[in-house]
A and B are shown apart, each in its own frame.
Chain A
């Protein structure tokens, strides 16, 4: 799914494929991004995010397929001619140049007149709070300051497309949250089209207009954060999004419907669902005093405002998680009853694809 299509798209990838020797890093990738939107490339380590970003930047040539920026075919163009700026994961600041010269590097190389150069430097430095650091060398800056210099170098170029490879991975949690908001605000204020690589799903969900979830060089799902959360297209997507992610449980035929494997006396879905996988968001599962699915607590994790209970269900080794407000760190072995939400996510156990829900789903458990 894509937000915009056709010549109005700021970025369009057509069947992009990248191969390193025998390893295929990217299988036919199709992505479209609307102008001024923030696309997050999300996925586990080694799934091809950096490779895709480098193909976009022109640092790596695609083995086949084409890349279009604002309707222009840039597949064969070198990085400099593509109108992109990039923030590298390691910042890639020039160690021998001070902050001002680092920011101005590209403008000097492109022979931008001095007056304009200085104006852009002043503006960008002020925007990123670097005005007092302009004479320092990168080695004299903190990690967060270095990151802002890298960001400033990308922004001062005023390129229509800005690429970022895990720019926040080296920062502490607090700084990361601040920078996240800062980057998002900046991107919206300047109307940049941004492609942002991360393997942190919280970062993806909180920043993106569009999340491209990747797995082993393929696009697993391309959707808005809300859609990705509400309707994960595959079991992989379901298991990747959410803290903790969705619990996936095998369903078996049982008297009166389909039940979680090993717990046949408690049907949780209509009979058609037998053989599929049931997805349950931990935040929708809660212990109850009334009737519910019997389970045994096998572990508890106290997170401050809430507690995540890991519970074993039935005799076939199925587990599910429940995220409940407050401190409820029950000892392992405690018997509980769980209230389950209405049936919302079913996945094929063979292909992992999302399955349509049975049309007349009665309430269970």
Chain B
């Protein structure tokens, strides 16, 4: 009887487990395994090297630049895209004409594929006659700037694209959360004499708390994941100014074919994402359940 129940349990678990193992667990373990061996080349097979690949990473200045670029990229895009998303959601949620059209407009960047976005922005950033230069020229009288070609501006230009792409997506979550707040709470607050600012600070913002946390975690993960436009537009250049962990993995693994080194890099990225996920779960676990 018991054996039968166990068999049923395995049968039910089977399909999901098969997929998880094949596409998640096995690759992780295999990557870890590869990162402990040297890259096989021609006649020379892979041999066990221990943490040598990781030691090489620690000595690699490009790795450190990619890591610091990536932290800057994440710290810049996360608060900006969240703040912008909240501002847009509050505005679009208000009583303005053409509300539906505005919502669609803000959501458009989200449905565009990243490659198309990159092409679009390539045009925006074109020196002299691109949209950005036109605007800065008109407003501040600046001359032509090679936004994605110079070291000082390239990373910022990439961050702007990520923010533009993400804010509309996060706005949808904020919009849903705003609409879930019962209007009667605002009426109660207005009878109680609360100013608009007080209402925002003491009612709206706290009630958006869980949504903000959810969005923050997603934004942070995207800060390490959303690099398609960089691959298309700058390949991590100029002079590694826009190199992020993921673009560097791509470069090491598929341009230099140093798969062992790329495996070690991947493990570092995985570790960072795991830490983010861990922070998510402890924060989510502690977050106040008031509904």
Contact = CB atoms under 8 A, between A and B. Distances in A.
Interface of A: 57-59, 78-80, 84-86, 88, 90, 92, 94-97, 105-106, 108-110, 137-139, 153, 157
B184 interface: yes
Interface stretch (B2-10, B162-170, B199-207, B240-248): B199-207
Interface string B196-221: 00100011001101000000000000
B191 A139 contact: no
B185 A85 contact: no
A88 B188 contact: yes
A36 to B, nearest CB: 21
Contact of B191 (A80, A95, A108, A137): A80
Contact of A92 (B185, B209, B288): B185
A269 B88 CA distance: 73
B187 A88 contact: yes
Interface string B168-193: 00000000000000101101111111
B95 interface: no
A92 B188 contact: yes
Nearest to B187: A59
Contacts of A90: 182, 184
Contact of A96 (B184, B191, B207): B207
14 contacts: A58-B191, A59-B190, A80-B191, A88-B187, A90-B184, A92-B182, A92-B185, A94-B188, A96-B288, A97-B202, A106-B193, A110-B193, A137-B290, A139-B290
A113 B190 CA distance: 20
A184 B250 CA distance: 75
A153 B192 contact: yes
Q: Size band of the B side of the interface? A: 20 to 34
Contacts of A79: 187, 190-191, 193
Contact of B290 (A78, A88, A96, A110): A96
Contacts of B194: 80, 105-106, 109
A280 B202 CA distance: 56
A318 to B, nearest CB: 46
A124 B198 CA distance: 24
Interface of B: 182, 184-185, 187-195, 198, 202-203, 206-207, 209, 288, 290-291
A94 B193 contact: no
Contacts of B195: 109
6 A-B pairs with least C-beta separation: A106-B192, A80-B193, A92-B188, A109-B194, A92-B184, A96-B206
Nearest to B210: A96
A80 B190 contact: yes
A86 B188 CA distance: 8
A153 B188 CA distance: 10
Given A79-B190, A80-B194, A92-B188, 10 more contacts: A80-B190, A86-B191, A95-B291, A96-B207, A106-B194, A109-B195, A109-B198, A137-B290, A153-B192, A157-B192
A85 B206 contact: no
Contacts of A109: 189, 192-195, 198, 202
Given A92-B182, A94-B203, A96-B206, A59 B191 contact: yes
A85 B185 CA distance: 14
Nearest to B203: A94
Which interface residue of A57, A95, A110 has the most chain B CB atoms within 10 A?
Answer: A95
Contacts of B207: 95-96
Contacts of B192: 80, 85, 105-106, 109-110, 153, 157
B290 to A, nearest CB: 5
B185 A139 contact: no
Query: Which of B184, B207, B291 has the most A CB atoms < 10 Å from its CB?
Result: B184
A305 B276 CA distance: 69
Contacts of B184: 88, 90, 92
B182 to A, nearest CB: 7
Contacts of A139: 290-291
A94 B291 CA distance: 10
B191 A85 contact: yes
A150 to B, nearest CB: 9
A249 B204 CA distance: 57
